[in-house]
Amino acid sequence: MLRVSFALNASREQVVATEQQAHEIVIVGGGAGGLELATRLGNKLGKKKNRAHITLIDASPSHLWKPLLYEVAAGSLDSYAERLEYLAQAHWHHFRFRLGRMDGLDREKQEISVAPTLDEDGVEIIPRRSFRYDTLIIAVGSVGNDFGVPGVKEHCIMLDTPEQAREFHRRHINACLRAHTQTAAVTSAQHTVGIVGAGATGVELAAELHDTTRELSAYGLEKIDPDKTLKLLIVEASDRILPGLPPRLSAAAAERLGELGVEVYTNERVVEVRANGMLTADGKLIPASMMVWSAGIKAPDFLKEIDGLETNRNNQLIVRATLQTTRDDNIFALGDCAACPMPDGKNVPPRAQAAHQQASLMAKAICRRFRGKPLLDYEYRDYGSLVALGRFSTVGNLMGGLSGGSIMIEGALARVVYWSLHKMHEVALHGWVKTAMTTYAHFISTPTRARIKLH
């Protein structure tokens, strides 16, 4: 699309037509941050196609909000029912979507390269492509960091993508079905799930697995005794679970996990993962039949010093408060793949709420840039942290309030606040009316939906 602008040449009193290309905005990664940004920019700028082209590129054809992955793994959420097709969202919100995995950058040509897309048999569907940009926003999120520990790749599942979460669920269900139908007696702890890392992902997964395995037994797999057949254990290197959150929140979560029968090993650093368990630094083998690695994250490896951009040891692109990368004003980064410093010297934490805030700010900032105004500075606002501990229990802290500090919340209120974070994401994508309608539809269909995914 070409933009034709007219400039008045005062001396000759003549209108001169100049042709200028529409501004190309390319967003890579349609996750918690990138998809919200593409939707907002599409709504604001996309209709006037002669002003800007907004292109979203993602390695996957559909979007699932990442904090839901532990529910997919435990079987309490059907990822196929919850996903959002990028092409449809692009059509509704005036941007275009292109499928593919970014693997290179040429800053001089202002181009990114996208690897060929292959089908399950390795046959090429889409060839290698490149996309030109005037403004590039990288929002490719993070992946699990195995810190080079041997055996993680071979024996652990990570929860980075819906495919991995579904793979975990499939193996878990198969282990339960095997136990239910075997002729020999089911032994205690026959199916042991070991989770390495007691951050929010590990803790939430353990509690949710406890609940869904109970449901499975109630649905007719009665040979499975959820308190005996399934053993859940978490191994954590630091001295408490949820080490990134306030100690009293860790204590409340630890108490709840204790009630659920989850075994927690703290001060135990896993140095090797074997087919039959996790070896700790002091030589102890903690046996497990299935293992999940949720001990830390890093930005994807392809970002490491990509075409001379500044990155840290976790491959995150270092950005300024405007979210511009330190060495290129036309390249921005947001969400988990960005290292954005805060006034206290720490980086903005890798959270959905940060990605959401950054996407809102970027949408405003890019529109300002179009009007020739300066960019805006991002300031992280921590509204608190919430950890779901199964269906009926949530603990967390809310920041702010009258005290200006943090207030600890638990139970139903915490559950509602936890749930509202996802709803805010949906509102950013669909607006209030559609979100209210789909939420209502979800509730009224509850009696005809299984509480857990059984296959």
Ligand X SMILES: Cc1cc2nc3c(=O)[nH]c(=O)nc-3n(C[C@H](O)[C@H](O)[C@H](O)COP(=O)(O)OP(=O)(O)OC[C@H]3O[C@@H](n4cnc5c(N)ncnc54)[C@H](O)[C@@H]3O)c2cc1C
Contacts with ligand X, residue ranges (CB under 6 A) = 28-34, 57-60, 66-67, 69-70, 101-102, 139-141, 159, 200-201, 300, 335-337, 350-353, 355
Please identify, using beta-carbon distances, which residue of 3 and 243 lies nearer to ligand X: 243
Residue with CB nearest ligand X? 31
Mention every residue, 6+ apart, whose C-beta is less than 8 A from residue 378: 321, 322, 323, 340, 348, 357, 358, 361
Please identify, using beta-carbon distances, which residue of 30 and 277 lies nearer to ligand X: 30
Please identify, using beta-carbon distances, which residue of 201 and 315 lies nearer to ligand X: 201
Least distance (Å) between residue 355 CB and ligand X: 4
Q: Whole-angstrom Cα distance, residue 181 to residue 136? A: 54
The number of helices, as runs of H, and strands, as runs of E, in the chain is: 11, 30
- Percent of the chain that is helix, strand, coil (3-state, to 5): 35, 30, 40
Least distance (Å) between residue 222 CB and ligand X: 30
Please identify, using beta-carbon distances, which residue of 170 and 422 lies nearer to ligand X: 422
Q: Whole-angstrom Cα distance, residue 166 to residue 261? A: 24
Nearest to 383 by CA among 413, 429, 352, 361: 352
253 to each of 53, 151, 154, 351, 386, how far by Cα in Å?
A: 47, 29, 30, 19, 10
Please identify, using beta-carbon distances, which residue of 141 and 390 lies nearer to ligand X: 141
The 3-state DSSP class for residue 264 equals strand
Please identify, using beta-carbon distances, which residue of 179 and 339 lies nearer to ligand X: 339
The owner of tokens 């024996």 is 155
Q: Backbone phi, then psi, for 334, in 5-degree steps?
A: -145, 165
Q: Whole-angstrom Cα distance, residue 9 to residue 404? A: 58
Pair type for strands 62-63 and 84-85: antiparallel
Least distance (Å) between residue 302 CB and ligand X: 6
Q: Whole-angstrom Cα distance, residue 215 to residue 220? A: 9
Least distance (Å) between residue 218 CB and ligand X: 25
Please identify, using beta-carbon distances, which residue of 66 and 191 lies nearer to ligand X: 66
Least distance (Å) between residue 150 CB and ligand X: 23
Pair type for strands 230-235 and 191-196: parallel
Please identify, using beta-carbon distances, which residue of 230 and 292 lies nearer to ligand X: 292
Least distance (Å) between residue 298 CB and ligand X: 12
Least distance (Å) between residue 411 CB and ligand X: 17
Least distance (Å) between residue 57 CB and ligand X: 5
- Residue 380 is inside which H or E element, if any? none
